[in-house]
């Protein structure tokens, strides 16, 4: 099972991974994961396997969703409802 958690920043040392959870306002909660919790014990393997960088066309919300895609989807729904109402009342 794959779970993605949006994080603001992270860094590693010989003990594990320190990361800050993403929040829209203020400083996010700081967390720590020890390398002993991963099957791959080295920091290089953990970063390559478990950390992915998602690039979006615009900003993201606090859950890591691309706001451009959300606006596009909302706009298509708005246009569909507008056209349907125009056909119905024509």
* Statement: the pTM of the whole predicted model exceeds 0.75: no
Q: What is the pLDDT of residue 24?
A: 66
Average confidence (pLDDT) over 51-79:
74
φ, ψ (nearest 5 deg) of residue 76: -65, -40
Supply the mean pLDDT for the chain. 76
Q: What is the pLDDT of residue 41?
A: 61
Q: How far apart are CA 90 and CA 86, in angstroms?
A: 6
Average confidence (pLDDT) over 16-23:
80
Ramachandran class of 55: left when φ > 0, alpha when ψ lies in -120 to 50, beta otherwise: beta
Q: Is the pLDDT of residue 61 over 80?
A: no
Q: How far apart are CA 41 and CA 14, in angstroms?
A: 10
């Amino acid at each position: 099972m794959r779970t993605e958690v949006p994080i603001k920043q992270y860094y590693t040392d010989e003990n594990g991974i320190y990361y800050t959870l993403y929040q829209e306002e203020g400083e996010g909660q700081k967390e720590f994961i020890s390398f002993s919790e991963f099957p791959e014990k080295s920091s290089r393997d953990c970063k390559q396997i478990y950390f992915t960088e998602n690039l979006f066309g615009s900003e993201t919300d606090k859950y890591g969703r691309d706001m451009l895609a959300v606006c596009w989807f909302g706009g298509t729904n708005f246009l569909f409802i507008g056209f349907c109402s125009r056909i119905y009342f024509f």
